[in-house]
Structure 1
């Protein structure tokens, strides 16, 4: 793991005896964070929807994990979960294409707002109702910066927000609620943390090939979140969490590697939009100094993807023409 760059690390209760609640615990980042927290001996609880997919994920952790099944839109559900917690890591959200593993925020904006904005409000109010309110780490996104390709990179925390998508507007509201609350808080804006699974989705065409994008491995995000629990310098700060300079790509280069790992060829440029997308390269110098989390690159992701797919890659390669035809028909830009 390496040493953390904080001058002061939290001692006593704010170490291994800390009670930590993770919302959205069985999502992409959540499952890696649960694993990392357990590895370090924290007292971990999970909050998530009682779905079949989440129950399958929960089986990995056995009885050692205390689970609160519920709907974050229901104040009573989250109220039970935050009781006696020292830190709440709030990751529960409905997210957009590329990162989405379920409902897409841009297809269901009203539901997404109820979960993202309303759910965050419920988390804050539930924490504040406790005799000893927990500290709160909010998972946010680089999407809040909006379309920034005309600007010189990298994006910095001091840059203004200019949200475009519903999801980004939600994140800006969530951040504002957290900052103006009486809680002890920290906000982590994540770069693109892609799930290690085969997701063949026409949403890939919604990013122009010359768009800057920063990747961060989900395991490294988990390290950053876990290290934050031992670093008192994160509180009251917004930090950018990305993979660093070795994980900064143009979208065409990112897609080439990911498609290759899945056994697919590249798609023609005219299948992709020309309208810029809300991603960019990030200045992660401060977050890396404090949290020392940047351990992996896209090469690790590609290797893990190949390993996970196994023989399925050869089936995908055989079916490449059919899959490509199906995807291209669903690209609104391909003429």
Structure 2
């Protein structure tokens, strides 16, 4: 199969390339191609395109020509102080991908949605794929994921000849994303090793997080490419992570702090440019529903190979060790690199990586 993967150098993209390389003809569409592709990425045909820009549509059409499927993974997490750019990347980028899919006559689109597309939870029962996907109002990430879902709803009605599969994973983790997650979530002055030195975890006791390993998400992508099903699939590993799991893996003592107080602290420090994590992520953590993976098990034969606690431990170890991959998106986090980019382009919450 000829498969085009947008965002092939990121957290999920690298896992998808590892899974599919050697078995399929892969085309990777990215804003910043690897300078020296190696390993599985060496067999990928790389196409440079900025999905936030309308000029990318022509490049996408050319890249999609003759493709059996497009796996759309591109999404933006920073700069958090430029929500209009994040919307242009996520929502606008999805619109441009859909235009190119139509122009190139691609028969199957696999869209990486998220648990974040769901509406606020009603209770603690895991929800299935028919739960509303209107997003969580306080989270820009959630609003944008929900907007992309509405776009796909319209697309499926207007273009029934194209199969559309939506994957809705929990938080996706792998060791190699450690450096990237540090850049997204911690101030540049905080050393990576501080992740292992957290004495207390001040968070609401009700916090529960669905999580899944990047390699398991890649396996799900492979399954849907084989089966070509329609509709949506929740992807999550057991157990849903509680504050007890978080505290154990971090080696910290949990201290209950009401979610409103946590949000206020994050909001104040974000507005003061002290740290890059916007308060919408706290709103998401407070309201995101638990999810049921039953449909993926029944129709795809998919079950996660890595449990959620092991995935979290792998991510935390990866952050502490500044784990990385030789791609621009997952590059190593070093003091020299952080200082150079801070001087040249400002904090990550305002800049777009060159």
Q: Take 2:224 and 2:110, find their aligned partners in 1: how far apart are those partners? A: 9
Deviation (angstroms), 1:248: 1.1
Task: Give the TM-score normalised by the residue count of structure 2.
Answer: 0.69
| 1:206–1:142 distance in 2 versus 1, CA, 3 Å | farther
| 1:227–1:312 distance in 2 versus 1, CA, 3 Å | closer
* 1:33 alignment partner in structure 2: 16
Q: Take 2:141 and 2:202, find their aligned partners in 1: how far apart are those partners? A: 15
CA RMSD, Structure 1 to Structure 2 (Å): 3.0
* 2:247 alignment partner in structure 1: 256
Deviation (angstroms), 1:157: 1.4
Equivalent of 2:110 in 137, 141, 146? 137
* 1:158 alignment partner in structure 2: 130
What are the residue-to-residue correspondences of 1:172-321 with 2, within 5 Å? 172-181=146-155, 182=159, 183-196=162-175, 197=178, 199-200=181-182, 201=185, 208-232=204-228, 234-235=229-230, 237-243=231-237, 246-250=238-242, 252-260=243-251, 265-266=252-253, 268-270=255-257, 273=262, 277-291=286-300, 292-301=302-311, 304-305=314-315
Q: Take 2:92 and 2:110, find their aligned partners in 1: how far apart are those partners? A: 17
* 2:335 alignment partner in structure 1: none
Whether the aligned pair in 1 keeps the contact of 2:11 and 2:174 (CA below 8 Å) is: yes
* 1:68 alignment partner in structure 2: 47
> 1:155 aligns to what SS in structure 2?
coil
Equivalent of 2:90 in 107, 112, 116? 116
Deviation (angstroms), 1:46: 0.6
| Structure 2 residue 29 is matched with structure 1 residue 50 | no
Deviation (angstroms), 1:309: 7.1
Deviation (angstroms), 1:296: 1.0
Deviations 1:94-139 (A, max 9, x none): 13xxxxxxx15x4321001111111111111111112x32310110
Equivalent of 1:83 in 56, 65, 75? 65
Alignment length (residue pairs):
273
> 1:230 aligns to what SS in structure 2?
helix
Gaps in structure 1 of 5+ consecutive residues: 1-17, 96-102, 314-335
Deviations 1:206-264 (A, max 9, x none): 973422221111110000001111113x22x1111111xx22122x134224424xxxx
> 2:116 aligns to what SS in structure 1?
helix
Task: Give the TM-score normalised by the residue count of structure 1.
Answer: 0.72
Deviations 1:171-199 (A, max 9, x none): 12212222322132111111111242264
Deviation (angstroms), 1:140: 0.4
Q: Take 2:117 and 2:320, find their aligned partners in 1: how far apart are those partners? A: 36
| 1:60–1:145 distance in 2 versus 1, CA, 3 Å | same
| 1:63–1:192 distance in 2 versus 1, CA, 3 Å | closer
> 1:277 aligns to what SS in structure 2?
helix
Whether the aligned pair in 2 keeps the contact of 1:257 and 1:302 (CA below 8 Å) is: no
Whether the aligned pair in 2 keeps the contact of 1:207 and 1:277 (CA below 8 Å) is: no
Whether the aligned pair in 2 keeps the contact of 1:38 and 1:44 (CA below 8 Å) is: yes
Q: Take 1:179 and 1:206, find their aligned partners in 2: how far apart are those partners? A: 39
Deviation (angstroms), 1:302: 5.1
Whether the aligned pair in 2 keeps the contact of 1:75 and 1:126 (CA below 8 Å) is: yes
* 1:170 alignment partner in structure 2: 144
Q: Take 1:186 and 1:302, find their aligned partners in 2: how far apart are those partners? A: 27
Q: Take 1:178 and 1:227, find their aligned partners in 2: how far apart are those partners? A: 21
